[in-house]
Structure 1
Amino acid sequence: MPHVRFGLKEEPGFDLKKSDRLIAVRTRSRRSLRAGPVPPRSAAEVVDGELVLAFPEAGVEVYRVAPEKKSLDERKRALRRDPDVEFAGGVLVDEANEPVLYTENLFVKFVDEADPEECTEVIQQAGLSVKKELGYATNAFFVGAPEGTGERIFEIAEALHARPDVEYCHPELVRRRARKAIFAPQWHLKTAVIGGRVVNAHAHVEPAHAVTRGKGVTIAIIDDGIDIDHPEFEEEGKVAAPRDVAFPLDHPQGTDPRPKDSNPLYPEDHGTACAGVACASGIDGASGVAPEARLLPIRLSAGLGSQQEAEAFQWAADHGADVISCSWGPPDGRWWDPEDPLHRQRFPLPASTRLAIDYAVNNGRGGRGRGDALAPGTGAGSAEKTGNGR
C-alpha cells in the first residue's frame, strides 16, 4: 500500500490503495477510446464502463468497470494488444475511493542551507534526472524517474524524504479538478428582473462601482482555456502576460491561453466564463465585477496536485497579478446526500503547490503580498476538508 508524505517528516502522511474497479488507459495518439465514428476494437474493454476521469491532452482516461463481467487483468491484457495503447493499468484511490493518478515524477525540496550542486548529486545518485529547477522555493526541483519505474516511485520518494537534508519529497499525484458553479445572469451585480420576477440576491457590486471599477488592478484567472478574443476582452491593454502552463514558455502555444478543445467530449468552456464574471469590460452586455481591471489569463489543463498547478501560481505572482482567482478544486460531495463520503474526505495539499501559493502570497505585488481566491465548492462538506480551505 503506497504511503505519501506531502508535509515535513513530523507531519502525518496518508495511504493509497489499489482499486478493484478502475482501469486507466493512455493512448499514443492522445485520442479517446470512444472518439470517432468507428471506435477501435479495444474500446470493447471499457464500453460497459463509466468514464470517471480524463486528461485529454495527455490521452489519459480512467473508467469504472464491472470486474464481475470481465476481470481487470483480462481487460488490461486486451487493451495492451492495441498498438495505440501506451499504457493500461490499475488505479490507486484514496479513502473515499476517488482516483489518484501518479506520474513517474517527483517534487523534492532540500533544506535552504544545502549546496545546490550537492542537491543535484543526490538526485542523480537516486537514479533521477532534473526536469526543472523551481524558482518559487529554495533548492526545489521537479525530477523524473526512468520510464517503467511504476509504483517504485513511492519507495524512492520515501527514501529521499528520510534524508536529513531533504525537507519535502513526494510523487506528482494528480486528482480530478472539479469546476465550481458560476451563473451568467447579471443578478449577481445588482437587483434584476428575470422572467418577470425581481431577484434581489446580488453582491452589492453596483455601489462598489461608485468607488472603483478595478482600474489599476490585475486579476489572474487560472482555469481551462480563456477566449481572449472575446469582445469583452478585446480592449487595448486588457490582457496581460497570457500563459498556457501545459507547454514550455518557448513553445508556440506557451503564451496562448485560448481553449484548445482537443477533444469535443471535453469542451473548455469554464475559464472564459470565470474571467467574464471577474473582469469583463461591459461593452457587449456582460460586465464583470471589476470591468476596468486587467486580465492575466493562465490556462491549466492538468489536474489537482500537478506541477503545472504550482507553476501557474508562480507565473501569476511573477507577472503582476494583484488577485489570483481559481474557480475549481477537489470534487464536491452530493449536497443532498449527507452520507456522501466526499463530505468527510480530506484532500491534502502537496508541498509543490503549497510552496508555490506561499510564494505568490508573500512575493506578489512587489513583496506587498496578494490575495488568492479559491472556490469553497458547492457540496455540503467543510471547506477545511476540500483542499481549498487553504
Structure 2
Amino acid sequence: MTSHTPSESESNRQSAANMPESSVGRVLQRGGEELLLEKVSDRFTVQASDQAALSQLIQPLPAEVGSKRTPGQLTEIVVEPAQRDQVMQQVRASDQVDYASHVYQIKDDPSSRIYMTDQVTIQFAPQVSTEAIAQIAAEFGLQQVKPVVGIANTFVFQTTPNATENPVKITNRLIQRPDVIVAEPNIVVPTQSLYRPKDPVYREQWHLNHSGGSNLAANSHIFAEKAWDITRGVRSVVVAIMDDSIDLNHPDFQGAGKIVAPRDFKDNDFLPLPGEPDDDH
C-alpha cells in the first residue's frame, strides 16, 4: 500500500460515494483503482489454527479440502456451487474456525484468484486522533493489529466477531468517510516462479539475481526474479535514467517504445551516445 495525495483520496471517495449498494460487496479497492469482483462458485476459504480439527469438521459435510496449496494461512474448501453458502455458514459457525470467506476472481477472468484475509489496511487523515481511530474501528468491529511503518496515521486492522460486514464491504464503507484517505482489504494472490530472461549473458548479470559464487557476497543482488514474479512492468510507466552516456544501440534497449525521450544535455541533442571508445555501458 502506498500513501495517496488529497486529490487522489477525494477522487476515490467520490467514486465510492456514487457506488450503488449492489456493488459494495463486489468492488475491490486497490491502489486507487476499483476492480470488479466475482465470487468463485465452487469454493471458499477458512482460517483455522488446528488443521486436524478442521479436517474433522469438514469430513461429514458435502465438501472437501482443496488439493492445491493456498497462499497464506488459508485453507480452500471445495463444494458444489448450490451448497457453497450453506456449507460456508456451517463451517463459519464452528469454534474451530477463526475466519471464513468467499473466494473471488476478477470479473470475466476465471484464471484469476483473489483470497480475502481477515485484515484491512486504513490510512486516516492527518488530523484524525487516536481516540477517533479507536471509535471508527469499534464501529466496524475492527481491532488494531499494527501501524504501517513509513505511512503516517496508517494501520492494519483485523476483523472481530463484532465485524459488521466482510472486508470488501467494510473498506468500501470506510472510503466514503472524509476522515479516511485509503481503505483496502488485505488480499492474498497465488504466484508462480516462472520467469527468467532468455538472455545469453543473463548469468553474468549477477547484480540482478545470483545464488552465490566466487567473489559474490550473500544477497548482493536486487532479487529481480522475485520482482518479476509480481510484475515485469508496463510500457505506460516511464523511468528516467541519468548517466554520462547511454548506449542506445544496446540489445536491451531495442523494441518499440523502450526509449521514450533521449536527451544529451552536454551536446544539446537527442543522442546521448558514448563519446569515448571505452564508454559503452
Q: Secondary structure at the match of 1:292?
A: coil
> For residue 5 of structure 1, what is the aligned residue in structure 2?
29
Q: Secondary structure at the match of 1:72?
A: helix
The 5 Å alignment of 1:6-45 reads 6-8=30-32, 12-30=33-51, 42=59, 45=62
Q: Please tell me whether the aligned partners of residues 51 and 61 of structure 1 are also in contact (alpha carbons under 8 angstroms).
A: no
Q: Please tell me whether the aligned partners of residues 142 and 160 of structure 2 are also in contact (alpha carbons under 8 angstroms).
A: yes
For residues 190 and 212 of structure 2, the distance between their equivalents in structure 1, rounded to whole angstroms, comes to 28
For residues 170 and 95 of structure 2, the distance between their equivalents in structure 1, rounded to whole angstroms, comes to 31
Q: Give the residue type in structure 2 aligned to 1:294.
A: A
Deviation at 1:121, TM superposition (A): 4.2
Equivalent of residue 135 in structure 1, options 146, 149, 156: 149
> For residue 93 of structure 1, what is the aligned residue in structure 2?
105
Q: Per-residue displacement from partner, 1:295-336 (whole Å, max 9, x unpaired)?
A: 28xxxxxxxxxxxxxxxxxxxxxxxxx73542564699xxxx
For residues 113 and 213 of structure 2, the distance between their equivalents in structure 1, rounded to whole angstroms, comes to 39
Deviation at 1:22, TM superposition (A): 1.6
Q: Secondary structure at the match of 2:67?
A: strand
Q: Secondary structure at the match of 2:70?
A: strand
For residues 88 and 159 of structure 1, the distance between their equivalents in structure 2, rounded to whole angstroms, comes to 20
For residues 76 and 134 of structure 2, the distance between their equivalents in structure 1, rounded to whole angstroms, comes to 37
> For residue 202 of structure 1, what is the aligned residue in structure 2?
201
For residues 210 and 193 of structure 2, the distance between their equivalents in structure 1, rounded to whole angstroms, comes to 16
For residues 45 and 161 of structure 1, the distance between their equivalents in structure 2, rounded to whole angstroms, comes to 38
For residues 115 and 52 of structure 1, the distance between their equivalents in structure 2, rounded to whole angstroms, comes to 43
For residues 60 and 93 of structure 2, the distance between their equivalents in structure 1, rounded to whole angstroms, comes to 12
> For residue 62 of structure 1, what is the aligned residue in structure 2?
76
For residues 6 and 63 of structure 1, the distance between their equivalents in structure 2, rounded to whole angstroms, comes to 26
Q: Give the residue type in structure 2 aligned to 1:4.
A: L
**Identity %, equivalent residues:** 16
For residues 63 and 124 of structure 1, the distance between their equivalents in structure 2, rounded to whole angstroms, comes to 30
Deviation at 1:54, TM superposition (A): 1.2
Deviation at 1:42, TM superposition (A): 0.9
Q: Give the residue type in structure 2 aligned to 1:6.
A: R
For residues 212 and 53 of structure 2, the distance between their equivalents in structure 1, rounded to whole angstroms, comes to 34
Q: Secondary structure at the match of 1:295?
A: coil
Q: Give the residue type in structure 2 aligned to 1:13.
A: E
Q: Give the residue type in structure 2 aligned to 1:61.
A: T
Q: Per-residue displacement from partner, 1:236-283 (whole Å, max 9, x unpaired)?
A: xxxxxxxxxxxxxxxxxxxxxxxxxxxxxxxxxxxxxxxxx524134x
Deviation at 1:139, TM superposition (A): 1.6
> For residue 71 of structure 1, what is the aligned residue in structure 2?
83
Compared CA separation, residues 169 and 20, structure 1 to 2 (3 A): same
Q: Give the residue type in structure 2 aligned to 1:295.
A: N
> For residue 217 of structure 2, what is the aligned residue in structure 1?
293
Q: Give the TM-score taking structure 1 as reference length.
A: 0.41
> For residue 281 of structure 1, what is the aligned residue in structure 2?
213
For residues 90 and 128 of structure 2, the distance between their equivalents in structure 1, rounded to whole angstroms, comes to 49
Q: Please tell me whether the aligned partners of residues 128 and 146 of structure 1 are also in contact (alpha carbons under 8 angstroms).
A: yes
Q: Please tell me whether the aligned partners of residues 27 and 86 of structure 1 are also in contact (alpha carbons under 8 angstroms).
A: yes
> For residue 9 of structure 2, what is the aligned residue in structure 1?
none
1:106 maps onto 2:120 in alignment:
yes
Q: Give the TM-score taking structure 2 as reference length.
A: 0.54
1:51 maps onto 2:67 in alignment:
yes
Q: Please tell me whether the aligned partners of residues 39 and 104 of structure 2 are also in contact (alpha carbons under 8 angstroms).
A: yes
> For residue 222 of structure 2, what is the aligned residue in structure 1?
323
Query: What stretches of structure 2 of length at least 5 have no aligned partner?
Result: 1-24, 233-281
Q: Please tell me whether the aligned partners of residues 123 and 130 of structure 1 are also in contact (alpha carbons under 8 angstroms).
A: no
Q: Give the residue type in structure 2 aligned to 1:281.
A: G
Cα RMSD after superposing both structures = 4.2
Equivalent pairs, count: 204
Compared CA separation, residues 89 and 150, structure 1 to 2 (3 A): farther
Deviation at 1:148, TM superposition (A): 5.8
Q: Per-residue displacement from partner, 1:329-369 (whole Å, max 9, x unpaired)?
A: 4699xxxxxxxxxxxxxxxxxxxxxxxxxxxxxxxxxxxxx
For residues 74 and 124 of structure 1, the distance between their equivalents in structure 2, rounded to whole angstroms, comes to 29
Deviation at 1:108, TM superposition (A): 0.9
Compared CA separation, residues 160 and 83, structure 1 to 2 (3 A): closer
Deviation at 1:124, TM superposition (A): 3.8
Bigger Rg, which one: 2
For residues 135 and 95 of structure 2, the distance between their equivalents in structure 1, rounded to whole angstroms, comes to 37
> For residue 167 of structure 2, what is the aligned residue in structure 1?
153
For residues 100 and 119 of structure 2, the distance between their equivalents in structure 1, rounded to whole angstroms, comes to 18
